[in-house]
Amino acid sequence: MVSLQKHLSKTRDPRMTNSFFFTAMVLLQIASNIHCMSSPIRPFATYRNRTELIENVADLWWTVNDGSKEIIFELHVRTTGWIALGIAAADGVTESADMAIGWIDANGQLHFEDRYAVGFTLPVKDSTTQDWLGLQGREENSWTAIQFKRALNTTDSMDVPIEPGMNILLFAYGLIDPNPDITYHENRRITRELPLWKS
């Protein structure tokens, strides 16, 4: 038995060993990435970035298109109500936050709105231009998934530019669809600072 082990150790190709360990590391990384996202819904597209905003509650994917200077987000939230993502000014105060709010109605239709947060009151509909654009969405297994996009810098006075480096994101959601307007999010709101893109 000892002589067989010596023979195998002498004849083993180091390249095969390195290849095995590399493959194992890649598989572990893939498994880790899959585990860190909690949504049961498969994303509509492949993205460069992703994060779990709240464990078992909300996941976010995004990609920046350098050519068109647009960012595409996909937000999944464990709710059948409205969901929202916003870009806040550098101080993180919602007095100047550009909000995207969407929901899926009982007929499976996507509704999407560009809003502007003024203080801590209900975000108002953008009265200039609709720069957040809802692309597609669906509800499945009590989760809502919506894909949407916006220009990095809309030059709209009611929007906040998405700058290179760290950006302050606001996330909130409700438990029911708007009727006629969104309900108060109560404690279902967080602020996160994320590096969305590099110049």
What span, in angstroms and rounded, lies between the C-alpha atoms of 74 and 164? Answer: 19
Burial 161-187 (b: 16+ CB within 10 A, else e): ebeeeebbbbbbbbeebeeeebbeeee
CATH code reported for the domain at 49-197 = 2.60.40.1210
66 contact partners, CB below 8 Å, separation of at least 6:
none
Q: What average pLDDT is seen over the chain?
A: 85
pLDDT surpassing 50 at residue 138: yes
Domain ranges of the chain: 2-36, 49-197
pLDDT surpassing 70 at residue 1: no
pLDDT surpassing 60 at residue 21: no
Could you count the other beta carbons within 10 Å of the beta carbon of residue 65? 13
The residue-averaged pLDDT of 39-49 equals: 97
pLDDT of residue 95: 65
The residue-averaged pLDDT of 108-127 equals: 87
